[in-house]
């Protein structure tokens, strides 16, 4: 029998990508908020699980493997959530490593643009931010360095004025295709979910995406309206896809979004957890 009080957030970020709460801290936060389960979905890395997985086990708190991959499909940025894959799966680890290299090149190009705008930031400046945001250096690291240098007044200001898509210091980086990403997730025995579909504004692109081998769609999201939810729920039902949801919590980077502000119930979480436990026991990788 399912519990009406069961709430699991399947979309959140830690200091291992662009969040401001540590992997251990986000488990403590989830427990404090009386959540029933969690999946940490850092951007292009599963590093958080080195600390989060053993800590969650110690606390007897259900945790499912997850990651949010950045991809491109016909020149459009598409994010894919991968769930319930073995943490030792080499296809996932290899793809994460490709993203590390991609981000290094992208960061170097962003720093060149900032230099042209009389806002020099060195590699050493970025390294100093690892106490606040660790692991792979991302745009929030650069934004924080800009704040500390006095170039902007806030992290959000850095994005609004310079680092967001379409702004003067934005760099898209080398694209990794959606097709490659879906293939990799399935090779790793994971489940591929179309993330925050409301951000896909081109109807023609969305139609093509719905013909690709996704396993599910993120139908519940912190910023979805009731009508938005219904739209994606209908699509999921028509496709017989898994319906997932989560807050997209980042901490101080997105202060208006709280952990657990969007979630899934016990039936969905149990389906993912069963898959995760099954493939993790197979010792395929």
Same domain, 152 and 37: no
The whole-chain average pLDDT of the chain stands at: 92
In degrees, rounded to 5, the angle at the alpha carbon of residue 68 between the alpha carbons of residues 66 and 71 is 145
pLDDT digits (tens, 9 = 90+) for 166-199: 999 999 878 899 999 999 999 999 999 999 999 8
Same domain, 91 and 196: yes
Is the per-residue pLDDT at 91 higher than 90?
yes
Other Cβ atoms less than 10 A from the Cβ of 250: the count is: 19
Q: With helix as H, strand as E and coil as C, how does the chain read?
A: CCCCCCCEECCECCCCCCCCCCHHHHHHHHHHCCCCEEECCCECCCCCHHHHHHHHHHCCCCEECEEEEEEEECCEEEEEEEECCCCCCHHHHHHHHHHHHHHHHHHHHHHHHHHHCCCCCCHHHHHHHHHCCCCCCCHHHHHHHHHHCCCCCCHHHHHHHHHCCCCCCCCCCCCCEHHHHHHHHHHCCCEEEECCHHHCCCHHHHHHHCCCCCCEEEEEECCCCHHHHHHHHHHHHHHCCEEEEECCECHHHCCCCCCCCCCECHHHHHHHHHHHHHHHHCCCC
Domain's final residue, options 126, 142, 163: 163
Ranking 52-61, 120-129, 162-171 by mean pLDDT, the lowest is 120-129
Ranking 2-6, 93-97, 153-157, 162-166 by mean pLDDT, the lowest is 2-6
Tell me the pLDDT band of 1, cut-offs 50, 70 and 90.
very low
Q: Does some domain include residue 168?
A: no
Q: Which residue has the higher pLDDT, 37 or 126?
A: 37
Tell me the pLDDT band of 141, cut-offs 50, 70 and 90.
confident
Same domain, 138 and 252: no
pLDDT of residue 135: 59
Domain's final residue, options 163, 197, 212: 163
pLDDT digits (tens, 9 = 90+) for 55-88: 999 999 999 999 999 999 998 999 999 999 999 9
Same domain, 44 and 114: no
Q: Does some domain include residue 169?
A: no
Is the per-residue pLDDT at 258 higher than 80?
yes
pLDDT digits (tens, 9 = 90+) for 232-251: 999 999 999 999 999 999 99
pLDDT of residue 134: 56
> Is residue 65 within 8 Å of residue 86, measured between CB atoms?
yes
Same domain, 115 and 74: no
Is the per-residue pLDDT at 132 higher than 70?
no
Q: Does some domain include residue 32?
A: yes
Q: Does some domain include residue 183?
A: yes
CATH label of the domain that carries residue 133 = 1.10.150
pLDDT digits (tens, 9 = 90+) for 207-230: 999 999 999 999 999 878 778 889
Domain of residue 155: give its range: 101-163
Q: Does some domain include residue 248?
A: yes
The residue count for the chain = 285
Q: Does some domain include residue 2?
A: no
Same domain, 78 and 214: yes
Q: Does some domain include residue 143?
A: yes
Domain's final residue, options 163, 183, 212: 163
Same domain, 262 and 219: yes
In degrees, rounded to 5, the angle at the alpha carbon of residue 90 between the alpha carbons of residues 87 and 95 is 100
Q: How many domains does the chain have?
A: 2
Is the per-residue pLDDT at 128 higher than 80?
no
CATH label of the domain that carries residue 51 = 3.20.20.140
pLDDT of residue 247: 97
pLDDT of residue 126: 82
pLDDT of residue 92: 98
Same domain, 226 and 156: no
Among 207, 231, 229, residue whose Cα is nearest residue 220? 229
Is the per-residue pLDDT at 280 higher than 80?
yes
Q: Does some domain include residue 1?
A: no
Same domain, 125 and 140: yes
Same domain, 87 and 227: yes
pLDDT of residue 224: 82
Other Cβ atoms less than 10 A from the Cβ of 256: the count is: 7
Same domain, 88 and 208: yes
Same domain, 131 and 209: no
């Amino acid at each position: 029998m399912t519990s009406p009080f069961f709430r699991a957030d399947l979309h959140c970020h830690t200091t291992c990508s662009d969040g401001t709460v540590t992997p251990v801290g986000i488990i403590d936060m989830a427990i404090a908020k009386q959540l029933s389960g969690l999946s940490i979905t850092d951007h292009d890395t599963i590093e958080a699980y080195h600390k989060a997985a053993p800590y969650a086990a110690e606390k007897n708190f259900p945790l499912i493997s997850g990651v949010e991959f950045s991809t491109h499909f016909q020149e459009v940025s598409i994010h894919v959530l991968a769930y319930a894959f073995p943490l030792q799966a080499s296809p996932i680890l290899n793809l994460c490593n490709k993203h590390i290299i991609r981000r290094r090149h992208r960061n170097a190009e962003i720093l060149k643009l900032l230099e042209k705008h009389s806002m020099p930031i060195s590699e050493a400046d970025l390294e100093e931010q690892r106490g606040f945001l660790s692991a792979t250096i991302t745009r929030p690291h650069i934004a924080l360095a800009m704040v500390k240098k006095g170039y902007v007044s806030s992290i959000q200001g850095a994005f609004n004025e310079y680092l967001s898509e379409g702004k003067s210091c934005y760099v898209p980086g080398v694209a990794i295709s959606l097709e490659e990403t879906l293939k990799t997730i399935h090779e790793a025995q994971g489940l591929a979910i179309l993330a925050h579909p409301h951000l896909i504004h081109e109807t023609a692109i969305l139609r093509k995406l719905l013909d690709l081998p996704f396993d599910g769609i993120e139908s519940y999201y912190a910023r979805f309206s009731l009508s938005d939810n219904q739209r994606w729920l209908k699509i999921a039902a028509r496709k017989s896809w898994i319906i997932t949801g989560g807050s997209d919590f980042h901490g101080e980077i997105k202060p208006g979004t709280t952990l657990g502000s969007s979630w899934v119930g016990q039936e969905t979480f149990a389906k993912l957890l069963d898959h995760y436990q099954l493939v993790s026991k197979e010792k395929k990788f």
